[in-house]
Amino acid sequence: MSSTTRWTSADLERMPNDGNRYEIIDGELYMSKQPHANHQDVCAEILGELRDWNKKKGLGKAYFAPGLILAEDDDVAPDVVWVSNERLGTALKSDGKFHDTPELVVEVLSPGSVNERRDCDAKLQLYSRRGVSEYWIVNWQERWIEVYRQDQAQLRLVNRLVESDTLESPLLPGFACSVAALFET
């Protein structure tokens, strides 16, 4: 008889500080190495664009790699998030982590099939069932962005943007960013 380990947030607290990123999705442990410098550059560009827009609009706040604890067995660290002022007050707790979903979550893909399955499948399902309004999957190597939006309680692909496109969102009034600019690293 075999048993499957179901990982929790408490288990993450005991993980070594070894430079790896540990996340739990539906009780399954995922580990990834430090990302490529280009991955980090793209995250910084997206964060910068969101922060610049938000300075003008004042509608919320963007964060880089925050802790996102949605349940004891759903504890992740997305690359970038944006959360509205209304949700910020209840989502961000005294431990410095979010305990409710931000409206926008961005994952920049790291190379490798395991990393892609985590971000394109497991996290897409997690963010969908937890009510994230919009999810961007960014591929810095192939230079495209997939935009998913909630539709009938599920995140659905609405667009795949390439370098010649402009990234806009009904979630972020007045936000517009050249996709090519995000990849100029």
CATH number of the domain within which 88 lies? 3.90.1570.10
Residue 19 placed within a domain = no
Going by their DSSP bridges, the two strands 134-139 and 104-108 should be labelled as: parallel
CA distance 108 to 38: 10
Residue 3 placed within a domain = no
Q: What is the pLDDT of residues 29-66, one digit of tens each?
A: 998 888 888 999 999 999 999 999 999 999 999 999 89
Transcribe 31-54 into DSSP letters: EEPPPPHHHHHHHHHHHHHHHHHH
Between the alpha carbon of residue 123 and those of residues 43, 69, 154, 176, the distances in Å are 17, 13, 13, 25
Residue 68 placed within a domain = yes
pTM, whole model, 2 decimals? 0.93
Q: What is the pLDDT of residues 75-110, one digit of tens each?
A: 999 999 999 999 999 999 999 999 999 999 999 998
Structure tokens at 1: 């008889």
* Model confidence band, residue 111 (pLDDT cutoffs 50, 70, 90): confident
Residue 128 placed within a domain = yes
- Domain with 107, as residue range(s), is 35-182
Residue 108 placed within a domain = yes
Give the residue from 93, 125, 96 showing the smallest Cα distance to 105. 125
- For the chain, how many structural domains are there in total? 1
